[in-house]
């Protein structure tokens, strides 16, 4: 078995929402010869930890199946000095795998007492916002522009390890260590994806309003710069962000908005004028020119320029010609000056289903 420990120039780009101290954190990843806990071999464990002279990556590489116990025992003893495990989908594979092996060898398992921070679980809600097809570690690395030297995945490395067991090839050893090393470095670096949390969490402020070719453009300033650009569309808007600028573009609808009247029984409809009037006034209109209002025609109408809203941030909320699916508000100077409500409006647009 080999233990390789190297100091690395890693700078934390996420503070775990102040949940943990970096001194308590151990980032880790394992490599195995298969997915079955009972029928595969643990051949490589890697971790990143903070020491007095900075961050280090330590790796345990087995020379054969007989080294599995030594590597596991040594890693578990090393891990016992930490309080938090950080990993990518380790809740689904790495941690249960190591727990099984520890039980098999009758070893104490300090991992069971440690807090778990699964990057995959914590970040998967950002998949749509970041426009990702998959939330695998490599997909996130590519999105964030993170380069890695290693080009192989864990499954492709298994034959390299079996050959390494037989030959001890330095070339195979290099590939095995490099893949695990880049996975750990990559985990560290993709933590910056959590900066995107400031968008769904509403950590931004309204800055300005523009209009261009029938589109309302709302500009908001984020708390901190993003590590990559995004542009997505939902049923209300095109949402884009770059640096610390968040922009929401929404098509303006021009036409007649209809404000529903709830107490329909108190109104009459005048077909020739296409308006409704209260019953107190309708008594002065000839019966042949009026009829009882219904939900289909009982509206107060207003001509103007409108924007849709997922929930009633701005009142009154008008219905347009989309069968009442959305409510709209009239664009006015007063509304465009209301920064606090424009902030709430952005929250609704961004988080709408």
CA atoms within 13 A on the CB side of 144: 27
- Output the pLDDT for position 102: 98
How many CB atoms neighbour CB 115 within 10 A?
Answer: 13
Q: Specify which residues 309 forms β-bridges with.
A: 327
Q: Name the residue with tokens 């914590």.
A: 122
- Output the pLDDT for position 287: 86
- Output the pLDDT for position 18: 78
In degrees rounded to 5, what are phi and psi of residue 181?
-60, -45
Closest CA to 43 of 164, 152, 136: 164
- Output the pLDDT for position 322: 57
CA atoms within 13 A on the CB side of 100: 14
Q: Are 196 and 144 in contact (CB under 8 A)?
A: no
**Structural domains in the chain, sorted by start:** 2-196 (3.30.420.10), 203-261+298-353 (no CATH)
Closest CA to 115 of 87, 75, 93: 87
pTM: 0.86
- Output the six-digit token pair for 257: 């908005």
- Output the pLDDT for position 326: 79
- Output the pLDDT for position 324: 60
Please tell me the total number of residues recorded for the chain in this structure.
Answer: 353
Closest CA to 306 of 322, 289, 283, 282: 322
pLDDT along the chain (353 residues), means of 10: 94 79 95 94 97 95 96 98 96 97 97 96 95 94 91 82 94 94 94 95 96 97 96 95 98 91 88 86 86 86 93 90 77 95 96 85
């Amino acid at each position: 078995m080999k233990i390789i420990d190297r100091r690395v120039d890693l700078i934390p780009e996420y503070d775990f929402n102040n949940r943990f101290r970096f001194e308590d954190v151990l980032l880790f990843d394992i490599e195995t010869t298969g997915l079955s806990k009972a029928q595969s071999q643990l051949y490589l464990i890697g971790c990143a930890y903070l020491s007095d002279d900075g961050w280090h990556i330590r790796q345990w590489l087995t020379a054969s199946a007989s080294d599995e116990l030594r590597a596991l025992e040594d890693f578990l003893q090393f891990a016992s000095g930490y309080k938090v495990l950080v990993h990518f989908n380790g809740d689904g594979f790495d941690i249960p795998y190591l727990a099984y092996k520890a039980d098999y060898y009758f070893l104490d398992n300090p991992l069971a007492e440690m807090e778990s921070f699964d990057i995959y679980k914590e970040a998967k809600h950002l998949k749509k916002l970041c426009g990702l097809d998959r939330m695998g570690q490599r997909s996130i690395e590519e999105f964030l522009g993170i380069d890695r030297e290693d080009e192989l995945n864990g499954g492709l490395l298994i034959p390299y390890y079996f050959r390494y067991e037989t030959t001890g090839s330095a070339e195979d050893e290099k590939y095995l260590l490099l893949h695990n090393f880049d996975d750990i470095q990559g985990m560290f670096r993709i933590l910056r994806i959590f900066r995107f949390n400031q968008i769904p969490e509403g950590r931004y402020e309204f800055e300005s309003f523009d209009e261009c070719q029938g589109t309302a453009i709302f500009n908001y300033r984020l708390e901190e710069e993003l590590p990559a650009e995004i542009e997505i569309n939902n049923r209300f808007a095109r949402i884009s962000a770059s640096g610390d600028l968040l922009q929401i573009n929404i098509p303006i609808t021009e036409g007649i908005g209809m404000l529903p009247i709830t107490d329909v029984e108190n109104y009459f409809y005048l077909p020739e004028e296409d308006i409704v009037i209260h019953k107190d006034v309708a008594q002065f209109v000839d019966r042949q020119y009026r009829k009882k209002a219904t939900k289909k025609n009982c509206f107060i109408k207003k001509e103007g320029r409108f924007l849709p809203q997922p929930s009633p941030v701005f009142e009154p909320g008008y219905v347009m010609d989309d069968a009442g699916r959305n409510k709209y508000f009239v664009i006015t100077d007063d509304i465009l000056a209301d920064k606090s409500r424009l902030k709430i409006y952005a929250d609704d647009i961004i988080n709408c289903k």
